[in-house]
Amino acid sequence: MNPFAQSRQDRVGSLGETVLIKRISEWLGAASPDPPAGIGDDCSAVHLPSDKSYLLTTTDPVIYQRHFDGHLKPEQVAIKLLNRNISDIASMGGTPRHATLSLALPNHLSIDWLKHFYIGLSQEAYKHNIQVNGGDVTPTKDFLGAFMTLVGYGNERILERKGASVDALVFVTGSLGGSRLKKHFNFEPRLPEGQWLATQVGVSSCMDLSDGLGKDCAAILLDHCNATIDASRIPVSEDAHALSQLSGRSPLDHAINDGEDYELLFTLEPDQDYDTFVGHWKTRFKTNVTQIGIISKRVASHPSVVFSNLEEKIEPTGYDPFRTP
């Protein structure tokens, strides 16, 4: 069977990532359990009844001309690969421990490039106390990609994407936008922050921002909920302002839609005291945390996520790698 479609409507690119993932879940049927064990969260989380902990598994690639190009050093490519996987485990409050790596390598790839890729991976893995336990290599004609599976552990309580009640507050760590200037390959996963959030009973949902606030925010909502995000409170990064000078788009547009921020988006239940929570955060972390919105009861006629106080027209789409013109 020819794997490629002639008609645009028959191509995976016509679906968009969200619909594609939903279709994959439907095709898998009973073979894929409900989240967090199955599709639908940052990691697969399988409960280990023997010690009341969770086995966390995630997988993410880096692909040449998609996630990196020749401007990056091979060490930077390897660090990005590992850290974008670590970020998934951080969002569930877990601890990463074991990685496997499969490589698709064109025959004309430089040996020196590959050597320094592994040197960078080794150094970053050592920093996070992660073992690289093996993998696979396969030759290709022109395609270069590295595919990592990372396994970690969560304690008795993990953070899932969905769980926020009506009137819960929406928070984000750090600042957003402009990641393609440098942050997409030069970021520190929010591991200690995620681990601490998992110990706070009032934190009801969490995910990492990889596809942009405009797209990812809807993923934390239960079916009966909407979210209102106050655009004036979104922490816009200096890189978003710098990129705006080159792109002609506003800094806020970059903050909402760029993706690859790798910050944590989470919710705090309404019965928790805001000042106490933020005070405890500030005593533990130098990372900024900002309340940017609130969860509300679902209104069918409204979009699932509404951006208030927008002083310009911005379409909050985020980044969708499967979106085609």
pLDDT in tens, 197-212: 999 999 999 999 999 9
Residue 238 in domain: yes
C-alpha distances in angstroms, 293 versus 76, 93, 234, 263, 266? 34, 22, 9, 16, 10
Residues 176 and 134 in one domain: no
Q: Give the integer Cα–Cα distance in Å for 325 and 61.
A: 24
Predicted pLDDT at 323: 64
Those residues whose C-beta lies under 8 Å from the C-beta of residue 164, and which sit 6 or more positions away, are: 170, 204, 205, 220, 221, 222, 225, 267, 269, 295
- Report whether 45 contacts 58 (CB < 8 A): no
Those residues whose C-beta lies under 8 Å from the C-beta of residue 179, and which sit 6 or more positions away, are: 187, 239, 258, 259, 260, 261, 262
Q: Compute how many other C-beta atoms are within 10 angstroms of the C-beta atom of residue 20.
A: 16
H-helix segments, 133-229 = 191-198, 213-216
Would you call the peptide bond into 36 cis, given omega within 30 degrees of 0 as the criterion? yes
pLDDT in tens, 290-303: 999 999 999 887 77
Give the CATH number of the domain where residue 78 resides: 3.30.1330.10
Residues 137 and 223 in one domain: no
H helices, E strands: number in the chain: 8, 11
Residues 144 and 184 in one domain: no
Torsion on CA atoms 277, 234, 175, 90, rounded to nearest 10? 50
pLDDT in tens, 180-196: 999 999 999 999 999 99
The reported pTM is 0.95
Q: Give the integer Cα–Cα distance in Å for 278 and 287.
A: 12
Residue 230 in domain: yes
Residues 178 and 297 in one domain: yes
Q: How many domains does the chain fold into?
A: 2
Residues 148 and 231 in one domain: no
Full domain range(s) for residue 190: 169-308
pLDDT in tens, 111-152: 999 999 999 999 999 999 999 999 999 999 999 999 999 999
- Report whether 25 contacts 39 (CB < 8 A): yes
pLDDT in tens, 73-117: 999 999 999 999 999 999 999 999 999 999 999 999 999 999 999
Residues 101 and 147 in one domain: yes
Task: Please identify, among 100, 126, 154, the residue that sits at the C-terminal boundary of a domain.
Answer: 154
- Report whether 74 contacts 122 (CB < 8 A): no
